[in-house]
Chain A
Amino acid sequence: MLRVWLLLLGAAGCGCALAQAPLPLKAGSEFQPPAIRTLQADEFANPAMLWVSQGEQLWTAPRGAAKKSCADCHGAAEKSMKGVATRYPRFAPQSGRVLNLEGQINICSVERQLAPPLEYESDPLLALTAWVAHQSRGMPLAVHIDDDLRATFDAGRRLYNQRMGQLNLACRHCHQLNWGKQLLTDTVSQGHGSGYPAYRFEWQKIGSLQRRLRACYFGVRAEMPEYGSPDLLALELYLAWRANGLAIEAPGVRK
């Protein structure tokens, strides 16, 4: 009995509590002002939809030495991509690594279209990611951590709980322990990525989840990991798991 109590105390003390997801689970849009929530829901006026439209066009555009379009293999995205974004990041056995949506799109670009990979934050990659993610809008995230994902998941959880930067803060200090509180006129969110890629007014364009994570690193005056780095990918995986059950809002609109 004493051992059980000590174990529980230990677990609580080291911050790696058994319940990692905040309760109740709240989507990022719930922490945005009403005008921005309305804009996100407006399928026409949502500025990110400009990139979704571009993605729709790119989907059927032949590319690379193979002169293949996404549609040539995947057919209509409305059918084949429905639900796909709810399962990412995932482990791809063919490439032997963990992939987010951007990574998967680039596997297709390089190996199927025989074209160069698309750069992070380039309009084509943003457009395709937004187009694919949009097909799962409203569907709940369902990322299952199996053996192949375990190491990346643990790395992500460690990073989430690790203090960093001049401000010496971990992600959890804001998004697990203080969500709902005010920072100037911003309300601290729970830190889910289910709204990404999102149009952020700060950026005056759409951006990936990795860009948003880099912005957080900058916010606590920490060195930002490079796009596509293992740290950012691990965090993406951990965040997706943490948001399991939340509906995908992509493409979101954020301040």
Chain B
Amino acid sequence: MPINRSWFDQRLRLGGLAVCAVVLATGCRREQVTHFRVEKGVEAVAASGPPGGSMGAGPPASPGMQGDVPAPPRPNAPLAWTLPKGWSQEVAGGMRYATLKPPASVPGRVDVSVVVLPGPAGGELANVNRWRGQIGLPPLGDGELAAARKMVRSPAGELALYDFTSEGEKKSRMVAALAEVDGSTWFLKLAGDAEPVGTVRPDFLKLLESIRRGTN
């Protein structure tokens, strides 16, 4: 059966349009910000290097959150502290030396961490401005640092204490102390929503005053 030429031309035009549509649709694809809502607790595998073997399917696993720049070494001279009533201490992970938990009865978001880094760890001003940056406050100048600092005495020596509250409708607050002990700098930080941080602050100050050389 011979094919009618006009029938053929009509289909050719339709086919051409379809091909153009596919080409344009695929050519105009632009990547966009994705969003997923996931349950807590999903983390990358700590693949700190390429896997031990390969079956010839793609590149080695790239490093996940673990990274190339290693976590700092443990300090030679550890510090200890007395936990306020109702507080608990969790096993440390990553950069943290310890994570402290205020009583669960405290409402709102609050986080207490202990981090220790070798040497001066960038200096006091840099660290203070880093903390301020984390809650959206502008950096301080050299001259303003002393005015913002309060000293806390402890058996292990004096700690420099800073207390910052963010601007905005929902305020965040950060109460952080640092001290250099035997060549390491210790950072103890209480951070979270302004209200619960204010509730926990007196206990946190007591904890700072109890800091001593030794182990818990």
Partners in one complex: no
- Give residues in A with beta carbon < 8 Å to B: none
Binding site for A on B (CB under 8 A): none
